[in-house]
Amino acid sequence: MDQTAQLVPINWYLLLSTFLFCIGVMGVLFRRNAIIILMCIELMLNSVNLLLVAFSAYSGNSDGQVFVFFIMVVAAAEVAVGLALLISIYRNIGSTDIDVLNKLKW
């Protein structure tokens, strides 16, 4: 398919996007600021995009690239809702630190 893309072996793309995905997971698990957590989720989604585009270019099948557009649209919708929820939290408690979200516990 695309000759220049294929100069790099597919495994390298796989390693790179797994690495980015893991950075995203670590960020979600260990950061306490809600906005940074949102960014880390975006990083996870974008590493998936990279992987899909790489697979798609290697196999000569364009489905993967179309799916990337779907992911981008859904990610935009998700972030819009997430930020809206965050704003209503900020209005009520004046903080974006997720440790203050402790009203619901058994």
Partner 1 sequence: MYTLIYTCGLGLLCLVAEILNLRKLLIPVILAGLAAIFFVNYMDWQMAGPVILGGIDMSHMLQVDHFAVAFNAILIGAAALLFTLSGNFYKDEPQHLSDYLAILIFILCGAMVLTSFTSLVMLFLGIEIVSISLYIMAGSRKFDIRSNEAGFKYFLMGSFASAILLFGIALIYGSAGSFELPKIAAYAAASGMANPMFLVGSLLMVVALLFKVAAVPFHFWSPDVYEGSPSLVTTMMATLVKISFFAAFYKLMSGGLLGIDGYTSDILVLVAAATMIIGNLVALTQDNFKRLLAYSGISHAGYMLLAILSIKTNSSSALFFYGASYMLATIGAFAVAIPVFNATGKETIDAFDGLGRKKPMLAGLLTMSMLSLAGIPPLAGFLGKYYIFSEAIKNGYVVLTVLAVLASIVGVYYYFKVILAMYTKHGDESDVRPTMLYTLVMLICVGLSLLLGVWPGGLMGII
The 50-69 site mask, x for binding partner 1 (CB under 8 A), equals -xx--x---x-x-xx--x--
Compute CA distances 2 → 18, 50, 98, whole Å.
22, 15, 44
The one-letter amino acid at 24: G
Among 3, 7, 92, 99, binds partner 1 (CB under 8 A): 92
Tokens (6 digits) for 33: 């600021």
Phi, psi torsion values for 23, nearest 5 degrees: -60, -45
Tokens (6 digits) for 5: 């893309």
Residues that bind partner 1 (CB under 8 A): 10, 14, 17, 21, 24, 28, 34, 37, 41, 44-45, 47-48, 51-52, 55, 59, 61, 63-64, 67, 70-71, 74, 77-78, 81-82, 84-86, 88-89, 92-93, 98, 101, 103-106
